[in-house]
């Protein structure tokens, strides 16, 4: 007997997002978005200073990026806003050519990101080793922590007990109740204390003036000429690559934390759309914000697009409607939150003595190199590229050592069989050439490749070189045992490469 069809009300509930069906989820998402919005304000202002633009530009950027990516992005609960990496890329353009060129570059970067997403750049993530990912996570935690150092340097002494009190609240409050996110409670309590007691400490308002109205869309004020395009294109492409790499790596990190899957292709296109919208609204461009994403996902427990959307909405509401109140928030409260974020984001298991004793030295080296490069350059994208290249070199050397050549001479001395084992590619094939006794071998030489695989033209060229060296001495070479892919590659290239026959 078939089960009854679901009622229209049940079908409607199934189509609605989780936060509409579950009040607890709704509360978590709303409060998570509010906490992130509070944390975005001082960072957006700081990134504006790096770029050399008005603080309102960074705040508008964080608003448009968060709201747009919440609708079109591929990773739920991930926060996108103005970031330091993008600010460093576009700052020289703004300094040398002006704000109009910067905005035009942001729009073009969005177009590049959409194109790169369509070309499948997201699939390159599969080539990022785990050791690089661990280094990425640890370096982002260190960067978040290091970003707080200026906030505790040359400041009034009350800042330090306020930070300590904030950290104590962040640790103790979740043990009592998780109804309201601990970061929000901590920020409110510390703000009330400083205002009520009249404690003079740096506040959000000291970072810059908050905007009083929404951004007005419009085209960048630049001549639409080929000269403008050639000027902004290098910056736009660099911004597109840096933004995509940070966003896709952050999305993968959130995937691992939440045990869910996200569409990296959609995220790539979404970042492009968000940057186009941001550029048309006069923003400085952005990408995924790792610190605030960790705050949203790990600290607040948010899991849906609502928290991302509301982070942007609350950001503007806080600036425009509650600007005077937000300006009174002590920076110490936000520093405490970000320190806790860095502590929880760091992979402490990766540096435990027990783990380090068991890990191969190469894996540890890759992780350390990734961290060092990121911390030195303050650019996660550069660290990931250098770490991945290092891991590739280490892997190639490790695999190359597995290639071996052994010789067996027939009893009658008329022939010799060389058995080649392992993977033959550019790092191993050149060493193989030197393993043959060209002068001392008999007239007939058999090279058995049944336990080997030919991967590239370098290997075919090496085998051609072996045949040539024997031919110069009047000896014949027979290659046997090639598997089908190796045979096809060898047949296609043998004799056609320089240094061959």
3-state helix/strand/coil string of 224-270: CCHHHHHHHHHHHHHHHHHHHHHHHHHHHHHHHHHCCCCCHHHHHHH
- Residues sharing a CB contact under 8 Å with residue 231, sequence separation 6 or more, in sequence order: 93, 97, 101
207: nearest Cα among 39, 341, 18, 439: 39
3-state SS, residue 179: coil
In angstroms, the Cα distances linking 265 to 273, 287, 305 are 13, 15, 17
C-alpha radius of gyration, the chain, whole number: 29
Determine if residue 120 is left, alpha or beta; phi over 0 gives left, psi from -120 to 50 gives alpha, anything else beta: left
Q: CA 104, CA 232: separation in Å to the nearest integer?
A: 7
Give the DSSP letter of residue 284. -
Query: What is the per-residue pLDDT for 127?
Result: 80
Q: CA 362, CA 348: separation in Å to the nearest integer?
A: 19
Q: Find the length of the chain.
A: 501
Give the DSSP letter of residue 350. G
Q: CA 33, CA 99: separation in Å to the nearest integer?
A: 30
Query: What is the per-residue pLDDT for 5?
Result: 62
* pTM of the entire predicted model: 0.74
Asked if 294 and 345 count as a contact pair (C-beta separation under 8 A), the reply is yes
- Residues sharing a CB contact under 8 Å with residue 97, sequence separation 6 or more, in sequence order: 231, 232
Give the DSSP letter of residue 330. B
Query: What is the per-residue pLDDT for 145?
Result: 86
* Parts of the chain with a pLDDT under 70: 1-21, 498-501
Residue 15 token pair: 């189509």
What angle, rounded to 10 degrees, do the helices at 55-72 and 305-320 form?
150
389: nearest Cα among 424, 422, 423, 365: 365
Pairing label, strands 287-288, 476-480:
unpaired
Query: What is the per-residue pLDDT for 108?
Result: 97
Sign of CA dihedral 462, 465, 469, 475: positive
């Amino acid at each position: 007997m078939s089960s009854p069809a679901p009622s229209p009300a049940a079908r409607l509930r199934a189509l609605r997002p989780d936060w509409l069906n579950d009040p607890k989820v709704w509360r978590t998402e709303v409060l998570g978005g509010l906490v992130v919005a509070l944390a975005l304000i001082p960072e957006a202002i700081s990134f504006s200073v790096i770029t050399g633009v008005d603080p309102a530009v960074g705040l508008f950027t964080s608003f448009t990026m968060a709201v747009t990516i919440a609708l079109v992005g591929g990773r739920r609960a991930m926060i996108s806003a103005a970031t330091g990496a993008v600010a460093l890329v576009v700052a020289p353009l703004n300094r040398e050519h002006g704000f109009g060129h910067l905005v035009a570059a942001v729009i073009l970067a969005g177009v590049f990101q959409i194109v790169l997403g369509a070309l499948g750049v997201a699939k390159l993530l599969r080539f990022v080793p785990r050791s690089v990912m661990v280094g990425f996570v640890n370096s982002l935690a260190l960067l978040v922590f290091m970003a707080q150092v200026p906030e505790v340097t040359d400041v009034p002494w009350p800042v330090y007990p306020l930070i300590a009190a904030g950290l104590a609240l962040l640790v103790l409050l979740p043990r009592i109740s998780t109804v309201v996110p601990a970061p929000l409670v901590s920020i409110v309590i510390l703000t009330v204390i400083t205002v009520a007691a009249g404690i003079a400490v740096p506040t959000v308002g000291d970072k810059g003036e908050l905007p009083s109205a929404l951004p007005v869309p419009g085209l960048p004020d630049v001549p639409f000429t080929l000269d403008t395009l050639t000027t902004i294109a290098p910056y736009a492409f660099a911004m597109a690559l840096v933004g995509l790499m940070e966003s896709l790596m952050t999305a993968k990190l959130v995937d691992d934390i939440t045990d869910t899957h996200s569409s990296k292709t959609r995220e790539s296109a979404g970042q492009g759309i968000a940057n186009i919208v941001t550029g048309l609204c006069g923003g400085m461009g952005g990408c995924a914000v790792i610190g605030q994403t960790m705050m949203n996902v790990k600290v607040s427990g948010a899991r849906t697009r609502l928290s991302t959307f509301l982070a942007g909405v609350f950001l503007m509401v806080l600036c425009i409607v509650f600007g005077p109140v937000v300006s009174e928030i002590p920076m110490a409260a936000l520093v405490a939150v970000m320190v806790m974020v860095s502590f929880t984001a760091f992979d402490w298991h990766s540096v435990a003595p027990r783990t380090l004793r068991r890990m191969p030295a190469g894996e540890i080296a890759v992780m350390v190199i990734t961290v060092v490069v990121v911390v030195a350059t303050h650019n996660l994208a550069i660290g990931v590229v250098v770490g991945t290249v290092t891991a590739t070199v280490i892997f190639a050397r490790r695999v190359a050592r597995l290639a071996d050549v052994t010789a067996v001479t027939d009893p009658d001395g008329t022939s010799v069989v060389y058995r080649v084992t392992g993977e033959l590619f550019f790092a191993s094939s050149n060493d193989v050439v030197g393993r043959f006794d060209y002068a001392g071998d008999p007239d007939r030489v058999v090279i058995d490749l049944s336990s080997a695989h030919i991967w590239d033209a370098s290997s075919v060229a090496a085998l051609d070189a072996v045949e040539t060296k024997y031919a110069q001495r009047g000896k014949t070479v027979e290659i046997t045992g090639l598997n089908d892919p190796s045979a096809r590659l060898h047949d296609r290239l043998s004799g056609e490469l320089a240094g061959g026959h």
